[in-house]
Amino acid sequence: MSSNTLIEAKNLTKEYIRGRKEVVVAVNDVDLEIPRGKLIMVTGPSGSGKSTLLNVLSGLDKPTEGKIIFSDEDISGWEEERLSKFRQENIGFIFQNWELIRTLTALENIESPLYPLKIKSKEIRTRAISLLKQVGLWDKVDNYPDELSGGEQQRIGIARALVGKPKIIFADEPTGNLDVDNAGSVMRLLKSFTKRDTAILVVSHNEELKKYSDKAFRMSNGRFI
């Protein structure tokens, strides 16, 4: 594991039981390094295992075999309580369907991950305002999600993922519901945040997005090909 590597997966395997007996190998003996300050992409068709890989790497799911090393510490065997705290302190998530809270404004949605933490309200507001400006939506500060376009909602989702100052962002099909222009805009925005040493892992079925990555892998049947 090099000094610049944030996360390393070694011989990572994830199996599920389907029905009573059938074993489905969703991720099959995968090795992967994610460096700080880089955008890594995993592409592949639906069912290839890329979203499962993201879930296992981020601690949302446990591997069947293999190790996940985060900053020289093996997290693959941690209990959920410890993993939950780890995710809160180190990881930001971006989803295909944005998952914004409909009753909160754009600014409040960005602030929302910090509400349970011991952070002063002034600091929360300062961070959220700064990010809202960085994603180019200061003029939408008081708008609710239903008043925003799909591209604008995803930009709010990106700002929300970054407000906790995570070491890594996991983005699952972040452009899946966007047109070509908005998809490119979102990927350029994500790429810009690697300059602050944030690592980003994007999984997508869209091969055209690989041009925005520092390194890309294609997945099929649980393996890199």
On whether the CB atoms of residues 139 and 129 are closer than 8 A, the answer is no
pLDDT (tens digit per residue) in 168-218:
999 999 999 899 999 999 999 999 999 989 999 999 999 999 999 999 999
What's the structural domain count of the chain?
Answer: 1
Exposure string of 172-210, with b = 16+ CB inside 10 Å and e = fewer, is bbbbeebeeebbbbbbebbbebbeeebbbbbbbebeebb
pLDDT category at 1 given cuts 50, 70, 90 is low
Q: What angle do CA 121, 123, 127 make, to 5 degrees?
A: 120
Percent of the chain with pLDDT over 70: 99
Q: Which two tokens stand for residue 55?
A: 């879930």
Alpha carbon of 157 to those of 7, 16, 179, 201, 217: distances in Å?
23, 30, 17, 15, 25
pLDDT (tens digit per residue) in 115-131:
988 899 999 999 999 99
Exposed/middle/buried for residue 215 (C-beta within 10 Å: 0-12, 13-18, 19+): middle
Q: Which domain holds residue 186?
A: 5-224
Please provide the average confidence, as pLDDT, over all residues in the chain: 95
- The domain that contains 69 carries what CATH number? 3.40.50.300
pLDDT (tens digit per residue) in 41-81:
999 999 999 999 999 999 999 999 999 999 999 999 999 99
On whether the CB atoms of residues 219 and 187 are closer than 8 A, the answer is no
Q: Closest Cα partner for 197 from 24, 39, 12, 28? A: 39
**pLDDT over threshold 90, residue 96:** no
- The whole-number pLDDT of residue 117 equals 87
pLDDT category at 40 given cuts 50, 70, 90 is very high
pTM, rounded to two decimals: 0.93
